[in-house]
Amino acid sequence: MIKNAIFRIENMSMLHDVMRVSPPKHPLISVVDFSTLDQEVVAAMNNVKVASAFYGITLKQLQKGSLKYGRNRLDFQEGSLLFSAPDQISVFENPRFSESIYNWGLFFHPDLLHGTPLSSKISEYSFWKYEVTEALHLSEDEKKSLSTIIDSIQKEINLPIDKYTKNVLVVAIELLLNHCIRYYDRQFVTREKFNKTVVDAIHDFLAAYFRSNRGEEEGLPTVLQCAEHVNLSPNYLSDLLRRETGKTTQEHIHFHLLEIAKDRLLGSSNSVKEIAHSLGFEYAHYFSSLFKKKVGVSPSEFRNFN
């Protein structure tokens, strides 16, 4: 494989060819036991950029060392769960963590979900867009629970395909995903000190942004800017903030924006249009619409009533 190129895997047959394992038993889903792979295959895939047409969930075990979490480093040895969505570029291995090994990988094509409730819900699991440094760190018991589900999926894949196969597999996948949501929620709790630091950093960033002239020069702050400020992915940051404060990143932006807007409406004689522009709005009616939606009255009415 060409190291600097993006290697795309289109289907399960191609995945199995790359791994040099027997052909898949099912065309839309596969479980790969990485411990059975030829070491030459593993070496060939080291640090290769991969994109695929399907979802992937991979358990990675670290023998020793630490993994970066945001700007911190966390020690763990039980294992980490990595997620990848269709067309998302990921790297099979990272040379900085040469002591790590992959245990198993679950791969399933979106076509498997069509016609099931999970098809419309799959994008609601926001961890598909988390960064590798925001992996789900598992306890030994959590790892065993997920591995049990993986074993059940593998057993079903090995059975002859019949009219029940799809439903059984999709139900098992959804069970696995729901366990992951539960474990991520636990992880947010156990990272409480780190999370509080992130919340404070976002608060300080937005307060400084709106009190300066950055809005007038650069426009409204974005979720991506907030995420980059604390070195997290947008999805992970929003989930963290929602868990800690009940508000998403966008809601935090709106909160700070409106607090500054109220100050300027009552503490200056500037027009609504001027205030909107100073905050980063290109068009004043967008500001007025947001203000009325969130506050209940228009900016002019708020000024007059107070």
pLDDT given for residue 279 in this prediction: 92
DSSP letter for each residue of the chain: --TTSEEEE-SHHHHHHHHT-PPPSSSSEEEEEGGGS-HHHHHHHTT-EEEESSEEEEEEEESSSEEEETTEEEE--S-EEEEE-TT--EES--GGGTTEEEEEEEEE-GGGGTTSHHHHHGGG-GGGG--GGG-EEPPHHHHHHHHHHHHHHHHHHHSPP-TTHHHHHHHHHHHHHHHHHHHHHHHHHHTHHHHHHHHHHHHHHHHHHHHTTHHHHH-S--HHHHHHHTT--HHHHHHHHHHHHS--HHHHHHHHHHHHHHHHHHH----HHHHHHHHT-SSHHHHHHHHHHHHSS-HHHHHHH-
What is the pLDDT, as a whole number, of residue 150? Answer: 96
pLDDT given at position 67? 41
Position 68 scores a pLDDT of 42
How would you write the pLDDT of the chain (306 residues) with one tens digit per residue? Answer: 445 577 788 899 999 998 888 999 999 999 998 877 777 766 666 667 778 899 999 888 754 444 443 334 444 446 788 898 898 877 665 434 344 466 899 999 999 999 999 998 998 898 998 877 788 888 889 999 999 999 999 999 999 999 999 999 999 999 999 999 999 988 887 777 777 889 999 999 999 998 888 888 899 999 999 999 999 999 999 999 988 888 999 999 999 999 999 999 998 889 999 999 999 998 999 999 999 999 999 999 998 887
**Structural domains present in the chain:** 6-190 (2.60.120), 193-305 (1.10.10.60)
